[in-house]
Structure 1
Amino acid sequence: MSNRPQTNLVRIMEELGSALLDVIAGEIDPERSVEAIVIHDPLDEPDAPRGGLVLGVGLSESADVARVLTRLGLSGTVGLVVRAPFTADDEVMAAAASSGVVLFSLTRGTAWAHLAGLFRSLMTPGGPDDARPVTFGGILAGDLFAMANAIAALLEAPVTIEDRNSQLVAFSHPQESRSPGAAQGRQIPRHYTRLLEEAGVFQEITRSDGPVVVPMPADALGAMDALESQRTVMAVRAGDEVLGTIWIASATPLTEEHVRVLRDSAKLVAMHMVWQRTDADVERRLRADLLRSTLDGGPGSAESAHRLGLRDEPAIVLALSLHAPATDQLPHAALAAERKRIADAFSVHLLFAHPRSTVGLVGEVAYAVLPVSATTADAEESAVRLANEFLLRVRSSQTPFVGIGSVVPETSQLPRSRSSADRALRVLRADVVPQQVARLEDVHAEALLLELSVPARDVPSGPLARLMAYDASHQASLVDTLRAWLDAMGDVTLASAAMFIHQNTFRYRLRRVAEVGRLDLDDPNARFAVQLQLRLLAITPER
């Protein structure tokens, strides 16, 4: 097994794609890993290592890019990044397709060194303690408070940083020493934020490439220092995506030098915000690995459960998965991001039900462990209710399904609960039943049928094949007659009523079933065989 640091393009696009990178040629293969970051040098072009991701510094001409793509394909390189704006012509598209190298464009204003640092952070194995320290602008990656202090020192004014939902994420320290009234200046009041939204100020901020001056009326801030009389706001962007805003409190407009500093600072803040996403993902992956170990069982499962904060108490496993018809599949990176979003929402939803619940994305399935204290039946019903409430609240382009496992008395038996949740989820994914949430007990027969590996599901044989062929050529309904009779346990009265025909007509058709299918209806083995085939044919392929 290789110990080289690695990640894959799906995860890179999941973390950085909406902010820094766009795919402009080629298709991402989720099975190919990224094992090295290489800088392109036009004067010295050694072969990139297999699994390398090449930073195409200085590449801007289509002919040069096409030539480099072709050469990189020979060595097994997975991707090439060029600076935006870049338009892929037919030659570049053909080179990317034939070489198997994905061509990305990097958002303008993003430093190559910063991008390389982000790539390497995604490739770092293990947890945050194993990662090498990364800095942007001399400040430890993700430290937005240090960035706010640095900007405040350069602009000589208090600074706050907000996310794109207008939530305060950092502020400069000098505000701490101001008067009690001014301490409220860390963030404008929420009611005034709503007024700004209604007046279209936030739309102006997000559309502008530079800072926007926002006057602060006296009734908004009350008796505050004169320095708070207006705010200058700068959007923090990564490509077309607005990540947040920087707010500067001042009495007079910023000078040209201050505006230049603010523009440069906004680029650095963007890198720190993107890094925070990556750092949060490290924690998410650690929890997912611990949950995987807990649900798999084995020697290390008890320690993993302890690190997750799970107690040795009754619990139940829920398994959530997203699916869509083949005609409506999202790209790999978008689907991975959607799975993560839904898993995070699922985690928040379950935390309200129980503070010690834990959720982790293991492969394509988000597993949840929910401690319970009620009886088995009540606990499973409660889990079904929680899952249905979640599905009513969540919005996704994909269809979410939740399999409910069985209640187990202790942590060591969680693999058994996970197994039953997986089996129920498989039935839901196969579109065999109409609901989106199910316990194994509710779909046990369907689960057993799905687990049978019988060719009859695809190609009927024997009596059933003969009956189906006869129906197709004579527009008859012998198969329906046989199914109704079997479902009614041989009761002609019930079967004929189900088909809305007279009993004598039904008996005649039943004799034709025996004749055409050469089927002995008195033979229990023959009846079982055709009934099994009919049940298997009703099970549609998984979506």
Structure 2
Amino acid sequence: MTQRPRASLGRVLDDLGATLLELVAGDPDRPIGGVAIYDPLDDPLLPQHALVLGVGLRDPEEITQVLRDLSRQHAAGLVLRSPVTVDANESDVAVLALTRGATWDQLGILLRSVLDVGVAESETLAGMPSGDLFALANATAALLDAPVTIEDRSSRVLAFSGRQDEADTARVETVLGRQVPERYSRLLSERGVFRELYRTDQPVYVAPMPAISPEVAIPRVAVAVRAGDEILGSIWVAVRERLTDERSEALRDAAKVVALHMLRIRADADVERRLRADLVSTALEGGREALDRLGLADHALVVLALAVPAAAERQRLADAFAMHLGAVQPRSAAALVGDVTYGLMPVDSEERAARIAQDFLDRVGDRFGATIGVATAVRLPQARASADRALRVLRSGRRTQRVARLADVQVEALLLELRDLVEARGEQPTGPIARLVAYDREHNSTLVETLRAWLDAFGDVTAAAAAVYVHPNTFRYRLRRLAEVGALDLADPEARFAAMLQLRVLAADLAADTVSGGSLDEPC
């Protein structure tokens, strides 16, 4: 059975047009079956009726060739950065221009919002397609004759109506960023707007804010979206004057309908996330049926393991990661399993998967502290274990990079596993290292630190002395002293290896237990 496409170019242009997109050439009634990112170094399998984002495409000859290729694959359209400098009428693929100032990330997020609404679904709520917040925003805008946004409790824009270009600079910036800028939301909080908004079910009039004029030149009317005592979000209308009683009543009614749809979206998203998490988790354990349901059974897969320190951000980053992988490779799957988000990608190498992972982290920035382990294997359980091992090294802070394959960090992974073993057995340093640790603690000296620096510098006294900020003569004295105290033959390679291994595994944290400094009788 052929799955019916979920949206059309016309629907995308209705929801995003003027603010983000302009139709340059082609049929706006063409169906869209998915979104993909153009990659000149790869030939991905596009979903049927794909809308392709031409990131970085500028050369007219290259664009013409890409349009020919997309036509053979029955793509719906190609999005290029405005201005478009190619004759797009020669291809049956629609060409759209992305407004200057908008980013590809913003467009990708907005397209997902629009295309996630299943137009093939017959279910409605209050006379509107279930979960279609964009349709609700446009219907509300028609009733009030003003541009509308629907936002969540964190002032993130969930949907918006057309005609946003009729509003002011602040509204355009909000729509493009899908988030009310922090400087605006801070002023709203300082003026008590949110407090008033959330304690009443009546529309709240918000006058322009002189402190940031002329960016906010048009007043707003807002109403809270409630489900019982819970605040789900709010509707914001950019108005030229106060609403009449009839339009205020229409806005209150719209808020009730939006609440029903937001609750339904939340419920559907929770169910879909749980189902996807179960499938991904089962697939990682070797479940063939789960791979079949994910459409990945006949592909060689790379596993990507994403970790985020802050628990509150994990689901948000998991959703963003799933969108990123899906845009690059439509047959990917990703879900939050426990405290790690796992991605399954049918790509040809770990190297390419690592580049895709790095690209994702570059886009989200370093504010989340996210890291990603990458691995491949004949069996998925082995690949997951390898990705987890690489991820653990990154999370331990032993590497400054944020993406790693197991081959990149295998030694560090083995050392961490050795530490697990000795900790489970309760083992302590023995022999020379034990004697040096005891001496340092008793005499407030730094013989362990000296030995560690010497071994790390491969016996280079000058480099080792610089690493611990002492004179080379002082360092040589300490080196002779530690050989005497520890009864350690520094010329014996086996003794050096044993000492290095104990310092790495058994005594890795001893630096915190000793006080840096030196004896008063040390020469300099």
- Shift of residue 396, structure 1, vs aligned partner: 7.0
Structure-2 change in CA distance of 1:384 and 1:538 (3 Å): farther
Q: How does 1:155-304 map to 2 (within 5 A)?
A: 163-164=150-151, 168=159, 187-194=161-168, 197=171, 210-211=202-203, 235-238=223-226, 243-245=233-235, 255=245, 259-260=248-249, 262-297=251-286, 301-304=287-290
Q: Which residue of 1 aligns with 2:359?
A: 389
Distance 1:266 1:479, change over 3 A: same
The answer to whether the aligner puts 1:343 opposite 2:312 as a matched pair is no
Identify the residue that residue 362 of structure 1 maps to in structure 2: 337
Q: Summarize deviations over 1:207-250 as a string: whole Å, max 9, x none.
A: 66534799xxxxxxxxxxxxxxxx9966342378563538799x
CA distance in 1 between partners of 2:496 and 2:426 (Å): 17
Q: AA paired with 1:454?
A: V
1:399 matched to 2:369: yes
TM-fit CA distance, 1:476: 4.3
Structure 1 residue 288 displacement after superposition = 0.9
One-letter code aligned to 1:438: A
| Counterpart for residue 37 of structure 1 | none
Structure 2 partner of 1:534? 503
Matched, 1:454 2:422: yes
Please state how far the C-alpha of 1:532 moved relative to its aligned partner. Answer: 1.5
Residues 512 and 150 of structure 1: is their aligned pair in 2 closer, same or farther, counting only changes over 3 Å? closer
CA contact (8 A) 1:428 1:436 kept: yes
Question: Could you tell me how far apart the structure 2 residues matched to 1:272 and 1:450 are?
Answer: 48
**Shift in alpha-carbon separation, 1:318–1:151, aligned structure 2, 3 A:** closer
* Counterparts in 2 of 1:248 and 1:443: CA distance versus 1, 3 Å: closer
Please show how residues 518-529 of structure 1 align to structure 2 within 5 Å: 518-521=487-490, 526-529=495-498
Q: Partner of 1:432: helix, strand, or coil?
A: coil
Distance 1:450 1:540, change over 3 A: farther
CA distance in 2 between counterparts of 1:388 and 1:539 reads 30
1:446 Cα deviation after fit:
1.0
Query: Aligned residue for 1:16?
Result: none
CA–CA distance in 2 between the matches of 1:467 and 1:265? 75
Number of residues of Structure 1 aligned to a counterpart in Structure 2: 347
Encode CA deviations 1:45-72: one digit per residue, 9 max, x unaligned.
xxxxxxxxxxxxxxxxxxxxxxxxxxxx
Identity across the alignment (%): 46
* TM norm structure 1: 0.52
Between the aligned partners of 2:400 and 2:337, the Cα distance in structure 1 is 26
Decide whether aligned partners of structure 1 residues 539 and 357 sit closer, same or farther in structure 2, where only a CA change above 3 A counts.
farther
Closer, same or farther: CA 457–508 of 1 in aligned 2, 3 Å: farther
Q: 1:232 to 1:482 in 2, by over 3 A?
A: closer
Alpha-carbon shift at residue 417 of structure 1 (Å): 1.4
State the alpha-carbon separation in 2 of the partners of residues 146 and 417 from structure 1.
Answer: 43
Inter-partner Cα distance in structure 1 for 2:434 and 2:398: 22
8 Å Cα contact 1:290/1:304 also seen in 2: yes
Q: How far has the Cα of 1:370 moved from its partner?
A: 1.5
Q: Distance in 1 between matches of 2:220 and 2:320?
A: 34
Distance in 1 separating the partners of 2:388 and 2:461: 35
Q: Aligned partners of 1:136, 1:233: CA distance in 2, in Å? A: 25
C-alpha RMSD over aligned residues = 4.8
Query: SS where residue 245 of structure 1 aligns?
Result: strand
Distance (Å, rounded) in 1 between the aligned partners of 2:149 and 2:361 = 30
Superposed counterparts of 1:67-106, under 5 Å: none
Distance change (3 Å), C-alpha of 1:495 and 1:383 = farther
Q: Within 2, Cα distance between the matches of 1:137 and 1:510?
A: 81
Contact kept? 1:235, 1:242, Cα under 8 Å? no
| Alpha-carbon offset, residue 197 of structure 1 | 2.5
Aligned residue number for residue 40 of structure 1: none
TM-superposition CA deviations, 1:129-162 (whole Å, max 9, x none): xxxxx9988999757699899999xx99999985
- Please report how far the alpha carbon of residue 357 of structure 1 lies from its aligned counterpart in structure 2 after TM superposition: 1.5
1:317 equivalenced with 2:316 (yes/no): no
Corresponding residue number in structure 2 for 1:424: 390
Q: Deviations over 1:382-415 (max 9, x none)?
A: 222222222222157542111111x33xxx6122
Which secondary structure state, in structure 2, belongs to the residue aligned with residue 454 of structure 1? Answer: helix
Q: What CA distance in whole angstroms lies between the structure 2 residues aligned with 1:195 and 1:145? A: 21
SS at the partner of 1:460? coil
2:233 aligned partner, one-letter code:
L
User: Quick one: distance in 1 between partners of 2:399 and 2:172?
Assistant: 46
The answer to whether the 8 A contact 2:138-2:162 is kept is: no
CA gap of 1:143–1:443, structure 2 versus 1, over 3 A, is closer
Q: Which amino acid in 2 is paired with 1:400? A: A
1:326-357 deviations in Å (ceiling 9; x for gaps): xxxx6xxxx2x410001111112222321111
Deviation at 1:311, TM superposition (A): 4.2
- TM-score norm. by structure 2 comes to 0.53
Q: For 1:196 and 1:429, how far apart are their aligned partners in 2?
A: 39
Residue matched to 2:380: 414
Provide the C-alpha distance between the structure 1 equivalents of 2:340 and 2:300, rounded to a whole number of angstroms. 22
Greater relative contact order structure (CA < 8 Å, 6+ sep):
1
Equivalent residue number for residue 407 of structure 2: 441
